[in-house]
Amino acid sequence: MAKELAGRSVQEMISEKMQSKRQGTSLERIVPILLFITAAVSVLTTIGIVLTLIFETILFFNEVSLKEFLTADKWYPFSETQASYGILPLVSGTFKVTGIAILVAVPIGLAASIYLSEYASDRARRIIKPIFEILAGIPTIVYGYFALTFVTPLLIKFIPGLEIFNALSPGIVIGIMITPMIASLSEDAMSSVPNAMREGALALGSTKFEVAMKVVLPAAASGIIASIVLAVSRAIGETMIVAVAAGSSPNLNWNVTGSIQTMTAYIVQVSQGDVGYGTTIYYSIYAVGMTLFLFTLLMNFIAQFVSRRYREEY
Amino acid sequence: MAKTMETSQSQTERQTNGTGSNEKNIVYKTKELNLWYGDNQALKNINLEIIENEVTAIIGPSGCGKSTYIKTLNRMIELIPGVRTAGEISYRGRNILDKSYEVEELRTKVGMVFQKPNPFPKSIYENVVYGPRIHGIRDKKILNEIAEKSLRGAAIWDEVKDRLNQNAYGLSGGQQQRLCIARCLAIEPDVILMDEPTSALDPISTLKVEELMQELKKSYSIIIVTHNMQQAARISDKTAFFLNGEVVEFTKTTKMFSKPDDQRTEDYITGRFG
Ligand SMILES: Nc1ncnc2c1ncn2[C@@H]1O[C@H](COP(=O)(O)OP(=O)(O)OP(=O)(O)O)[C@@H](O)[C@H]1O
Ligand SMILES: [Mg+2]
């Protein structure tokens, strides 16, 4: 091996480079500052949004009592004579749609992820994974009209009592929308389970399905649960699909075949109409927005708690 | 057909070196086994007989087909796409390469311990009872008995008896490997295959696993792949020397390490080999 390269040793070239780095304003010093600024901007914006939400929410509660907001069973903000601001009907609307979406998405999404990570050939995986990404990129307004003009008429054939606007159809469609997300993220979690574990289980006489259910699924539990929680947050916050296909009747009941209103759809409804600035209705969208925010925050905490609790070290 | 049978038979006899085995205590009889990874032949005309309650060591340089052979014995080799086999491996008189031989059944009879310990990310207890559980044993009392017996059998009971519900990954590498042996013992197999089970362990853990094998061979037949000549000499009854996918010599370990028949064997065990 020649120690000299073009007359100089590698060590000489390195020390020259080190020398020039040390002199002048190096990029090394500016980069962390720039990065800090970008991080700070996003944090500050978030804080600003939360503060606005809090202030406007306080203004709302100057006019409506917290007790009424939490316990009244009617949401009649537009009534001139007997306006009622009980959040429960809107919450129930959101829960109905989210619940249906989860019932659709979790079994299908998990089954798909087990298929992809444990059974599918490389070729099938290479074809299916990008399709999931395409599905995730479809604008939700498209899903909304898909619910209204395709799924609802289809469901009416089987459920005669189904109204044009209902919780069932947008619930199913939101489920379809979040399925690829659960499938894709859960597949990532399962694929990262080391093969040595599968071999250990197979060598004990497990079938492939037993390996998937008893070894891979538990080992990937934290990632899978995180994917489900993320999908639930998506469903809770979903706006266009419910605004288009779920109707605008806040009702507190267990019925999923009739028109409902979710928290998000209510906010859309108010911001589309010509509600005067400073009215109670105007502030109410902040109170509803705050409630929504608390729910997603809660989901985030659950996700963190669960993934810590179920983390299987390997 | 009859003729080929005859030649393979006589070859088998030669290779097993006529060590007074009768049909009854033969666990595995490998006849003219050939194996290809795609176009690449990894095993060539293997003939071997594994005898009950013996430790059979497989030695040979890297890439000679030791892992390939041992993985064929419980058909784990099938997990690799593009593998083809020809010939016969009869286990207790039935050809396991026959597709009608149910692989799950085979693997409940033939346990395997891997090079790197691979416990499940579950508690120590759950690791041990995994096998019995999937094979339908639900009774809590029986499972507890199995767990204690297997952990004792793998010489790790005293170290873990107070922490059965802790995650297996909290154990040291040597303890994990003995836990994997316990997991394997829990389904009471007939044969235990071990592919370099101590190569990831420190000398003290290695010694523990070796002592354990001496104990285990009273009730199990053990086939072990090892790169450690001393280990092969210490623990095995018979040794097979593999080279380039062929069995060069298969004989009693004492003979193999004192006066081997083949020059290549001697070169290898004395370290005069590539
Ligand atoms: N998955 C595989 N695909 C293709 N060829 C393989 C595969 N595994 C092993 N081989 C080839 O088969 C031959 C035997 O490999 P094997 O792993 O059985 O060797 P080994 O004796 O166990 O070696 P080592 O001592 O390094 O573990 C080698 O030539 C290897 O390249
Ligand atoms: Mg090997």
Torsion sign (Cα): A248, A249, A251, A254: negative
B66 lines ligand 1 (CB under 6 A): yes
Q: What are phi and psi of B105, to 5 degrees?
A: -65, -45
How far does the CA of residue B111 sit from the closest CA of chain A (Å)? 6
Per-residue CA distances from A268 to A165, A247, A262, A288 (Å): 16, 12, 10, 11
Of B36, B67, B79, B223, the residue with max ligand 1 atoms within 8 A of its CB, to mutate for a pocket test, comes to B67
Whether A221 maps to a domain, the answer reads: yes
What dihedral angle (degrees, nearest 10) is formed by the CA atoms of B11, B16, B18, B20? -130
Mean pLDDT of A74-84: 87
Does one domain contain both A88 and A208?
A: yes
Does one domain contain both A82 and A107?
A: yes
Nearest CB to A203; choose among B107, B167, B170: B107
Walk me through the domains of chain B, giving residue ranges and CATH numbers.
Answer: 26-96+103-269 (3.40.50.300)
Strand partners, B86: B34
The tens digit of pLDDT for each residue in A119-172 reads: 999 999 999 999 988 888 899 999 999 999 999 999 999 998 999 999 999 999
Does one domain contain both A46 and A165?
A: no
Classify B48 as helix, strand or coil.
strand
pLDDT per residue of chain B (274 residues) written in tens, 0 to 9? 344 444 444 444 444 444 445 667 899 999 999 999 999 999 999 999 999 999 999 999 999 999 999 999 999 999 999 999 999 999 999 999 998 999 999 999 999 999 999 999 999 999 999 999 999 999 999 999 999 999 999 989 999 999 999 999 999 999 999 999 999 999 999 999 999 999 888 888 888 889 888 889 889 999 999 999 999 999 999 999 999 999 999 999 999 999 999 999 999 988 876 4
- How far apart (Å, rounded) are the C-alpha atoms in residues B258 and B264? 14
Lookup: tokens for B216: 């285990």
Residues 6+ apart with CB under 8 A from A154: none
pLDDT at residue A29, rounded to an integer = 82
- The per-residue pLDDT of chain A, averaged, comes to 91
Whether A122 maps to a domain, the answer reads: yes
Question: Which is the closest atom of ligand 1 to the Cα of B68?
Answer: 18
The tens digit of pLDDT for each residue in A252-296 reads: 999 999 999 999 999 999 988 888 888 899 999 999 999 999 999
Does one domain contain both A163 and A277?
A: yes
Of B36, B37, B223, the residue with max ligand 1 atoms within 8 A of its CB, to mutate for a pocket test, comes to B37
Of B36, B41, B44, B68, the residue with max ligand 1 atoms within 8 A of its CB, to mutate for a pocket test, comes to B68
Which domain, by its residues, includes A282? 76-309
Q: Using pLDDT thresholds of 50, 70 and 90, give the confidence band for residue A312.
A: low
pLDDT at residue A3, rounded to an integer = 54
Does one domain contain both A45 and A170?
A: no
Q: What are phi and psi of B21, to 5 degrees?
A: -100, 135
Does one domain contain both A131 and A266?
A: yes
What is the tally of structural domains in chain A? 2
Whether A314 maps to a domain, the answer reads: no
Does one domain contain both A175 and A55?
A: no
Lookup: tokens for B208: 């523990």
> In this structure, are strands B94-95 and B83-91 parallel, antiparallel, or unpaired?
antiparallel
* Interchain CB distance below 8 Å, A199 and B119: no
Count of beta carbons in the 10 Å neighbourhood of residue A219: 23
Instruction: Tell me the chain A residues in contact with residue B137 when contact means C-beta distances shorter than 8 Å.
Output: none
B195 lines ligand 1 (CB under 6 A): no
Q: Which of B76, B134, B176, B185 is the best mutation test for A, with the most CBs of A within 10 A?
A: B134
- How far apart (Å, rounded) are the C-alpha atoms in residues A193 and A221? 10
Residue A20 has pLDDT above 90, yes or no: no
- How far apart (Å, rounded) are the C-alpha atoms in residues A102 and A81? 39
Per-residue CA distances from A42 to A167, A301, B211 (Å): 35, 20, 62
pLDDT at residue A24, rounded to an integer = 62
Residue with the smallest CA separation from ligand 1 atom 3 is B37
Does one domain contain both A305 and A164?
A: yes
Q: Is A207 within 8 Å of chain B by CB? A: yes
ipTM for the predicted complex:
0.88
The tens digit of pLDDT for each residue in A178-193 reads: 999 999 999 999 999 9
Residue with the smallest CA separation from ligand 1 atom 16 is B65
Cα A101 to ligand 1 centre (Å): 48
Instruction: Tell me the chain A residues in contact with residue B119 when contact means C-beta distances shorter than 8 Å.
Output: 200
- How far apart (Å, rounded) are the C-alpha atoms in residues B70 and B64? 12
Does one domain contain both A266 and A145?
A: yes
pLDDT at residue A17, rounded to an integer = 82
Whether A243 maps to a domain, the answer reads: yes
Does one domain contain both A214 and A186?
A: yes
Does one domain contain both A131 and A248?
A: yes
Whether A48 maps to a domain, the answer reads: yes
Question: Which is the closest atom of ligand 1 to the Cα of B70?
Answer: 18
Residue of A266 and A8 predicted with greater confidence: A266
pLDDT at residue A82, rounded to an integer = 84
Whether A130 maps to a domain, the answer reads: yes
pLDDT at residue A25, rounded to an integer = 63
Whether A71 maps to a domain, the answer reads: no
pLDDT at residue A62, rounded to an integer = 94
Residues 6+ apart with CB under 8 A from A188: A223
Binding-site residues on chain B for chain A (CB distance < 8 A): 74, 76, 79, 104-108, 111-112, 114, 116, 118-122, 130-131, 133-135, 167, 169-170, 180, 183-184, 187
B64 lines ligand 1 (CB under 6 A): yes
Question: Which is the closest atom of ligand 1 to the Cα of B67?
Answer: 22
Global confidence as pTM: 0.83
Residue type, A134: I
Cα B67 to ligand 1 centre (Å): 7
Does one domain contain both A127 and A16?
A: no
Last residue of a domain, one of A63, A86, A105: A63
* Interchain CB distance below 8 Å, B74 and A197: no
In this structure, what CATH number is given to the domain that contains residue A236? 1.10.3720.10
